[in-house]
Structure 1
Amino acid sequence: MPKVIAQGKTFECEVGANLRRVLLGNDIALYNGKARLINCRGLGSCGTCAVMIDGEVSSPNWRDRGRRSLPPHVPERPLRLACQTRVLGEITVTKYDQFWGQGQNIIW
C-alpha cells in the first residue's frame, strides 16, 4: 500500500485511492479558509483542493486540466486537484496559501 505524507503525517492508502478522500479521511486540512465550507465536494469544478504532489499519481484528467487552466490557477504551475487525482505510489503532498491553494507560501 502506498504511503502518503501530508501535513506532517504519514499514512497508507489503497493503490488507486482518490487523494481528496484519503486526505480528508486522515484529518488533513485540505481546504484554506472559507473553502472548507464552499467547495464542489469533489466534482473538480472549484479548484480549491489544488495541491503540489511529489510521487506517483494518475495523469491529469480533463476536469483537472480544465479547471487549472482558469484563473486564479495557471496551467504552467504543476499543481493538481486532489479530487481528480488517484494515488498510485508513495507521495508527498504540499498545500499552498490563498483561497484556491494557488499562492506561493507553503501552509503544510
Structure 2
Amino acid sequence: MPQIQAQGKTIECDRGANLRKVLLDNDVELYNGPAKAFNCHGLGTCGTCTVEVEGEVSEMQGREKARLSLPPHSPTKNRRLACQTKVLGDVKVKKYNKMWGQGDETLWTERG
C-alpha cells in the first residue's frame, strides 16, 4: 500500500486513491482560510486544493492543466490539484500559503 506523508502524518491508502479524499479523511488541513468553506468539493474547478507532490502519482489531465494555467496559479510552479491526483506509490505532500495555495511560503510539509 502506498504511503502519503503530509502535515507530519504518515497515511496508508490504496493504489489509485484520490489524494484530496485521503488527506481530508485523515484530518489534514488541505484548504487555506475561506477555501475551507468555499471550494469546488473535488471537481477540479476552483484550484484551492493545490499542493506540491513528490512521488508516484497520476499524470496531469486536461482539467487540472487548464486550472493551473490560470491566475492566481502559474504553470511554472510544481503544483498539483489534490482533487485530480491519484496516488500510485509513496508520496510526500507540501502545502503553501495564500487562499489557492499558490504562494511561496510553506504552511506545512510532509513532516509537519
TM-score band by shorter chain is over 0.9
Higher strand share: 2
What TM-score, normalized by structure 1, do the two folds share? 0.99
Q: How do 1:1-108 residues align onto structure 2 when only pairs under 5 Å count?
A: 1-108=1-108
Q: Which runs of 4+ in 1 moved over 4 A?
A: none
Post-superposition offset of 1:27:
0.3
SS in 1 for 2:17: coil
Please, what is the CA RMSD of the aligned residues? 0.4
Which blocks of at least 5 consecutive residues in structure 2 are unaligned? none
Which blocks of at least 5 consecutive residues in structure 1 are unaligned? none
- Identical positions, percent: 58
Amino acid in structure 1 at the alignment position of 2:39: N
**Cα distance in 1 for residues equivalent to 2:33 and 2:94:** 16
**Cα distance in 1 for residues equivalent to 2:104 and 2:78:** 12
What TM-score, normalized by structure 2, do the two folds share? 0.96
